Amino acid sequence: MRLIAMVLAVVMAAPAFADKLSLSELSGYLNNLTTAKGEFTQVNDDGTISTGTVIIKRPGKMRFEYNPPDSTVVIAGSNTVVILDDKSNAPPESYPLAQTPLSIILARNVDLGRADMVTGHSFDGTATIVTAQDPEHPEYGNIQLYFTGAPVELRKWVINDGNGLRTEVVLGALQKGGSFRNALFDTSRYGAGR
């Protein structure tokens, strides 16, 4: 009986291993993802939930527009990430893109096989999960990317930043292709990226 249970466990586990996507497949998917737009749901470190639209224009550009009552806009462009919050009297926050885990998926050439970049590569029965970080600056945090296959799709990412905060972004269906004005990603008008 115990032998039968062991054989069943091996047989049932085999498809899961077959469904794990390789790092080269995932790098290829990200490199071919030039423009995309879709809805997202964000779960913040404090448990609050926000929704909105994300626009991706690789390399180097991304824009998050949050739905009301949130009026935040986050723009990645010109090697900078700017956070605009109309409700706050504070000036926009800005950070070098290279110091955020988003830089990994917005890079001109994504190579998840690069030495020490990937610190985890697993399959949970539904998605291939890749944990990646800047190998030269692990203190910037990491990003966990969740991909499904047939065809390959990016479904979610979790950013664990250098301050110990966790932000989860669940993507709706991404509409690939299309043209987006560079002005959508212009951070220079906020005193950043100059």
CA-nearest of 97, 103, 102, 62 to 81 is 97
Secondary structure (3-state) at 10 = helix
* CA dist list (Å): 35 to 32, 89, 183: 9, 33, 15
* CA dist list (Å): 181 to 32, 38, 72: 19, 16, 20
pLDDT tens sequence for the chain (194 residues): 433 333 333 333 333 344 899 999 999 999 999 999 999 999 999 999 999 999 999 999 999 999 999 889 999 999 999 999 877 778 899 999 988 888 888 999 999 988 788 999 999 999 999 999 888 888 888 999 999 998 999 999 999 988 889 999 999 999 999 999 999 999 887 765 44
Angle made by CA atoms 68, 72, 75, in degrees to the nearest 5: 135
Instruction: Identify the CATH number of the domain in which residue 132 sits.
Output: 2.50.20.10
* pLDDT of the residue at 191: 61
| Number of domains into which the chain is organized | 1
Could you tell me the pTM of the whole model? 0.83
Report the Cα 143 to chain-centroid distance in Å.
7
Domain that holds residue 150: 2-190
Angle made by CA atoms 117, 41, 37, in degrees to the nearest 5: 75
